[in-house]
């Protein structure tokens, strides 16, 4: 890894954050596959640590949370017991997004159960400076997790979507059921119904699928190790928060949140990698 120049590292990271796979990045940059993979893991670890330290005492007012599905190695239904021990199977990425600045202050890669919800919500609580309004979908595990982390110091509502029958036939198996409507339910505090929405965080799910190659459906670019999966996500959010100008804000989310005073270059991201 030490043989790579800063310019080579910059080119590799630039390819990865723009949605290229590891092998495509290797071909485009003329860097060995294993070297690209090691740089991804090192960069992911550094980016995770940097954002963990930077996203503290945040002055967020309205947050939206959601979970996005992917798998490592194989889908849950096809995983053997031995493969499950290696971390294969369904993996969910829990994300929180500031509706005003579009900053993603924290995320969690794991299962979609009560343990993950509790861990995620406590992590989010530790990053906030004051009371916030929170909106999630209707997942039941959110309710107890939010109460355990925030107590009564939150204005919390759920947006529960109502779906019709799922499409039938093999040709539509990847099509979602039709959304017939949504119901806003107050869980705690006094949330402003005008801002009870998960639209921004759901749009962020699309951004993740577009920019992180291993989230692309119906390809063989899926993660083979959960550690690599987590590294790719951390690198993506570093680029999203600090280096990617948001289309509606015209600045980066980190600038909008007052964490950064400029648009980061890819080389700056490379420089935080030890």
pLDDT in tens, 29-74: 999 999 999 999 999 999 999 999 999 999 999 999 999 999 999 9
Domain coordinates in residue numbering, the chain:
6-271
At 251, list the tokens.
Answer: 């600045």
pLDDT in tens, 188-242: 999 999 999 999 999 999 999 999 999 998 889 999 999 999 999 999 999 999 9
Residue with tokens 């017939």: 180
C-alpha 194/C-alpha 125 separation (Å) is 23
pLDDT in tens, 146-190: 999 999 999 999 998 877 776 666 555 566 677 777 889 999 999
pTM for this entry: 0.93
Compute the mean pLDDT over every residue in the chain, rounded to the nearest whole number. 93
C-alpha 9/C-alpha 270 separation (Å) is 7
């Amino acid at each position: 890894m030490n043989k790579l120049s800063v310019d080579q590292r910059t080119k590799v990271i630039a390819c990865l954050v723009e949605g290229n796979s590891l092998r495509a990045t290797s071909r485009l940059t003329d860097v060995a596959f294993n070297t690209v993979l090691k740089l991804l893991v090192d960069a992911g670890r550094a980016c995770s640590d940097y954002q963990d330290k930077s996203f503290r005492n945040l002055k967020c007012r309205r947050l939206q949370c959601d979970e996005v599905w992917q798998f490592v190695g194989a889908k849950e239904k096809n995983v053997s017991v031995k493969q499950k021990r290696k971390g294969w199977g369904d993996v969910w990425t829990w994300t929180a997004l500031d509706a005003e600045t579009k900053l993603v202050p924290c995320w969690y890669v794991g299962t979609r159960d009560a343990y993950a919800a509790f861990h995620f919500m406590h992590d989010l609580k530790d990053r906030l400076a004051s009371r916030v309004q929170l909106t999630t979908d209707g997942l039941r595990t959110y309710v107890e997790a939010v109460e355990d982390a925030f107590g009564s110091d939150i204005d919390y509502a759920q947006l529960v979507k109502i779906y019709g029958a799922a499409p039938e036939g093999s040709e539509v198996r990847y099509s979602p059921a039709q959304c017939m409507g949504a119901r806003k339910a107050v869980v705690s505090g006094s949330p402003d119904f005008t801002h009870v929405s998960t639209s921004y965080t759901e749009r962020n799910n699309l951004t993740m699928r577009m920019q992180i190659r291993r989230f692309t459906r119906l390809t063989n670019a899926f993660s083979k190790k959960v550690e690599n999966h987590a590294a790719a996500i951390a690198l993506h959010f570093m680029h999203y928060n600090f280096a990617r100008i948001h289309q509606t804000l015209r600045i980066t989310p980190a600038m909008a949140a007052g964490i950064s005073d400029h648009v980061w270059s890819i080389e700056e991201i490379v420089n935080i990698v030890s």
